[in-house]
Amino acid sequence: MSRAKRLAIVGYGTVGSGVYEALEENREKVEKLVGGFTIPLIVVKDGKKSRTTESGTKISEDIETLYKEEIDTAVEAVPDALTAYPIVKKLLEKGITVVTANKELIAKYGEELLHLAAENDCRLYFEAAVAGGIPVLSSIRHTLKVNNVEKIEGIVNGTSNFILTKMREEGTSFEDALEEAQRLGYAEALPDKDVDGWDAWYKTVILSHWLHGQPPVWPEEKPRGIRGIDVRDLHLAAAFYGRIKHTAVLEGTSARVEPRFVDADHPLYGVEGVNNGIHVKGSIVGSLLFQGAGAGKFPTASAVIEDIVNHWTNTAEAEPPYTEQRKEQETKEQDNFPYWFITGEHLQDLPDLVSEVRFLEGKEAAVLKCAREDLPDVSGTVYPVSGTLKEGKQLAASPVLS
């Protein structure tokens, strides 16, 4: 009979405590799948805090105890890449498999760490790093083996999605919606990575490596976030049967992270609140939507635990195909529907308009059709359109605002 699996957890905040609690609560089911397991060690930053754990679990502030403990697998659940990197690196060097939800760690150091894991006959798992509890990475790898994934569009940051939903539904300002997100625990005290688009940027990097074995090609040096979006833009979008959503788009290795006008016929249109949604277009299957909780204590813990169980039962998919050398791939965007939703002033005289101009409280909005490189220089905000927006009747029939 094989010995019980031994798991350590590094960090005991939202994710770490969620993993521990969910494993203990579901111990009977997990043990039916993997045999026995123990959690002999949890490493924390502050050992003086009161924590409830089982008698066989030791809590330590000393990171060195982690490297001395005889463990098979470790869950890395610290809040930043800078702290996590040396810990994960040393564990992999010792041949210990690591499971993480740290998207910044994987985006910045994933290639190096995956090679290190391969060299030391262990694994690095990170399903929870993209879209929290939604099993999008394993689903793409396991169930779309024959399909070519032609395009991914995702709402992958629940904080931004919550803020935009609240602004549109209640007419609140960005600042008020952000304050509410922080009060409810959906946004950090320092929310820059979420609202400025970096969280979605990191996840897009991971998706590109997962699919293509190399980083994405970015047209700009940084993402576009939601800071500064006018609530009137959200209401004007509704006049054209759309919603402004913060999206990550990966087509081939060409990537963008930006707010977009999502048409009512698009699968991401109904992804609201703190939910995440990943729209995958496969060459055979067509359109798929993965939707659910993209963050939170137990949704994220669920993804981490599934990685652990898949590893312990030898049912995990093969490593992502990271490449030593960058491949030459077609990176040109294929805009099948090159429409643009524009808000601002004095839009009536713009070329290529395919809609009437709508007005709301001194602001105007319209839709035009042209290639990205032919966009006019306007004093306003330009949103790419996702969806099968049609010219003519649909747009002309949209309600007039006042």
Q: How confident is the model at residue 390 (pLDDT cuts 50, 70, 90)?
A: low
Q: Three-class SS of residue 188?
A: coil
Does residue 309 form part of some domain?
A: no
d(CA 294, CA 298): 10
Mark whether 171 and 288 lie in a shared domain: yes
Tell me if 333 sits within 8 A of 254, measured CB to CB: yes
Mark whether 163 and 205 lie in a shared domain: yes
Burial-class residue 392 by CB neighbours within 10 Å (0-12, 13-18, 19+): exposed
The residue among 72, 27, 18 whose CA lies nearest residue 302 is 18
Q: Which of 125, 160, 181 is the last residue of a domain?
A: 125
Of residues 244 and 335, the one with the higher pLDDT is 244
CATH number reported for the structural domain that contains residue 91 in this entry? 3.40.50.720
The residue among 84, 92, 90, 88 whose CA lies nearest residue 120 is 92
Q: What is the pTM of this model?
A: 0.90
pLDDT at 135: 92
Tokens read off for 361: 């409280």
Tokens read off for 210: 């997962």
d(CA 382, CA 364): 12
Burial 73-83 (b: 16+ CB within 10 A, else e): bbbbbbbebeb
Q: Which H or E run contains 343? A: strand 339-344
pLDDT at 163 over 90: yes
Tell me if 237 sits within 8 A of 266, measured CB to CB: no
pLDDT at 346: 87
d(CA 262, CA 274): 17
- The boundaries of the domain holding residue 203 are 136-293
What one-letter code names the amino acid at 259?
P
Tokens read off for 286: 């067509």
Mark whether 94 and 205 lie in a shared domain: no
Tokens read off for 69: 């403990």
pLDDT at 17: 94
Mark whether 82 and 44 lie in a shared domain: yes
Mark whether 109 and 207 lie in a shared domain: no
pLDDT at 264 over 60: yes
Q: Which residue has the tokens 């007005």?
A: 359
Q: Which H or E run contains 341? A: strand 339-344
* Cβ neighbours for 81, distance < 8 A, ≥ 6 positions apart: 102, 104, 105, 108, 109
Burial 304-328 (b: 16+ CB within 10 A, else e): bbbbbbbbbeeebeeebebeeeeee
Does residue 322 form part of some domain?
A: no
Does residue 298 form part of some domain?
A: no
The residue among 117, 121, 80, 112 whose CA lies nearest residue 99 is 117
Tell me the per-residue pLDDT of 358-382, one tens digit each, with 9 for 90 and over: 999 999 999 999 988 888 888 889 9
pLDDT at 327 over 90: no
pLDDT at 401: 52
Give the lowest-confidence range in 180-184, 236-240, 337-341.
Answer: 337-341
Q: Which of 125, 146, 173 is the last residue of a domain?
A: 125
Q: How confident is the model at residue 336 (pLDDT cuts 50, 70, 90)?
A: low
Q: How confident is the model at residue 127 (pLDDT cuts 50, 70, 90)?
A: very high
d(CA 25, CA 18): 10
pLDDT at 312: 96
Mark whether 141 and 117 lie in a shared domain: no
E-only strand ranges, 182-294: 242-251, 254-263, 275-282, 286-293
The residue among 270, 267, 272, 269 whose CA lies nearest residue 287 is 267
Q: How many CA atoms lie within 13 A of 160 on its CB side?
A: 31
The residue among 156, 154, 385, 143 whose CA lies nearest residue 282 is 143
Tokens read off for 272: 């609201």
Please report which residue ranges of 184-314 form alpha helices under DSSP H.
192-195, 198-212, 231-239, 297-312
Does residue 331 form part of some domain?
A: no
Tell me the per-residue pLDDT of 52-100, one tens digit each, with 9 for 90 and over: 888 899 999 999 999 999 999 999 999 899 999 999 999 999 999 999 9
Mark whether 66 and 162 lie in a shared domain: no
Mark whether 147 and 244 lie in a shared domain: yes
Catalytic machinery residues: 203
Of residues 222 and 348, the one with the higher pLDDT is 222
Average pLDDT, the chain: 90
Mark whether 143 and 253 lie in a shared domain: yes
The residue among 293, 317, 203, 274 whose CA lies nearest residue 18 is 293
Mark whether 153 and 289 lie in a shared domain: yes
Mark whether 166 and 89 lie in a shared domain: no
pLDDT at 43 over 80: yes
Does residue 69 form part of some domain?
A: yes
Q: Parallel, antiparallel, or unpaired: how do β-strands 363-369 and 358-360 relate?
A: antiparallel
CATH number reported for the structural domain that contains residue 275 in this entry? 3.30.360.10
Does residue 190 form part of some domain?
A: yes
Q: Which residue has the tokens 């002033």?
A: 345
Does residue 142 form part of some domain?
A: yes
Q: Three-class SS of residue 45?
A: coil
pLDDT at 349: 84
Mark whether 245 and 163 lie in a shared domain: yes
- How many domains does the structure of the chain reveal? 3
E-only strand ranges, 77-207: 97-100, 124-125, 149-155
Of residues 56 and 329, the one with the higher pLDDT is 56
Does residue 327 form part of some domain?
A: no
d(CA 18, CA 300): 8
pLDDT at 281: 95
Tell me if 105 sits within 8 A of 88, measured CB to CB: yes
